[in-house]
Copies of this chain bind each other. A is one copy, B any other.
């Protein structure tokens, strides 16, 4: 397919307007994007076109019924100018899992993989080389079909856009363990990267920010008894020398970074446990000194260490460690991503 992929090149490039030494996250876009339309019951062949506005009828279902999903990926440039992706097939598989749950037609693998690599080959100069920076890649899919009737759309768009980006967060964050609001229902869409999952988090996060926290630790919606996610990331807890994370289920996202960290930790000889973690256990571990680390894990931030958490009006500080699992695991995973170390797991994917 790659040979037949239609590419309409931008007449001029915006790349010289970009300050690659001072990149924010996801707010500058490259010259091109991939577009693929689902019409008449099938996904048509993707095209690469200049990055441009999308025109939609006001009755397009994306505006009304929330049929939208996305993925987050990064392209990394190594010292020799080689460009790499990290486990892109995992993102493709999850995109289609999300699509199915949101009643969006699944995308053919070749459209995703060949479209993605062709786009990145074209945009290779946009992949930054500074430490911690990368080309953030955003595949997304939404309902473009029309009608004020609450039913799945008959037309969809799949787009891949790219944004050269610096690091997502800076510094350690203080988080609030949520006791009122929830991110996901049992039997709901929490495991999907559905737009609506994110919109629902903003207001509770704003309330947490007003109280002096930066993020929310989400708990189950039944009794707020178990820890589920941290902001828009999976969450890891280190008690003594054991690294624990919640099992994925229909409320928790099957994060690519989450499962990679589990594999790396095991290969480093770190004891890992995938099991439910109660808030009570974390609070008690904080009190008796066995709670060593808390961190979020996701594509954007990779690993986001937590400095303190609040629960029922009390703040609990995490210790400052010389050799944290968070920094070790972040080093190991980014060494693979940036082609600085052997890739014994076979996770790197050469773009060019």
Cβ contact within 8 Å between B199 and A138 = no
Cβ contact within 8 Å between B64 and A195 = yes
Cβ contact within 8 Å between A148 and B26 = yes
State how many copies of this chain the complex holds.
2
Say yes or no: A188-B221 contact (C-beta < 8 A), given A64-B68, A199-B65, A200-B102.
yes
Interface status of A333 (Cβ within 8 A of chain B): no
Chain A contacts with B in 179-197, Cβ cutoff 8 A = 180-189, 194-197
Interface size on A, residues (CB 8 A): 73
Least Cβ distance of A299 to chain B in Å?
Answer: 11
Q: Which of A47-55, A106-114, A252-260, A303-311 contacts B (4 or more CB under 8 A)?
A: A47-55
Least Cβ distance of A82 to chain B in Å?
Answer: 24
Cβ contact within 8 Å between A102 and B57 = no
Say yes or no: A187-B180 contact (C-beta < 8 A), given A203-B100, A232-B150.
yes
Q: How many Å lie between the Cα of A41 and that of B261 in the bound state?
A: 40
Interface status of A136 (Cβ within 8 A of chain B): yes
Cβ contact within 8 Å between A62 and B62 = yes
For residue A33, which residue of chain B has the nearest CB? Answer: B58
Chain B hits for A186, CB < 8 A: 182, 185, 221-222
Kindly identify which residue among B138, B202, B222, B300 contacts A67, using a CB–CB cutoff of 8 Å: B202
Q: How many Å lie between the Cα of A70 and that of B58 in the bound state?
A: 12
Q: How many Å lie between the Cα of A137 and that of B151 in the bound state?
A: 17
Chain B hits for A200, CB < 8 A: 66, 101-102, 188-189, 194, 196
Known: A29-B57, A68-B195, A72-B148. 6 other contacts (CB 8 A): A27-B59, A63-B68, A63-B70, A66-B194, A102-B203, A148-B163
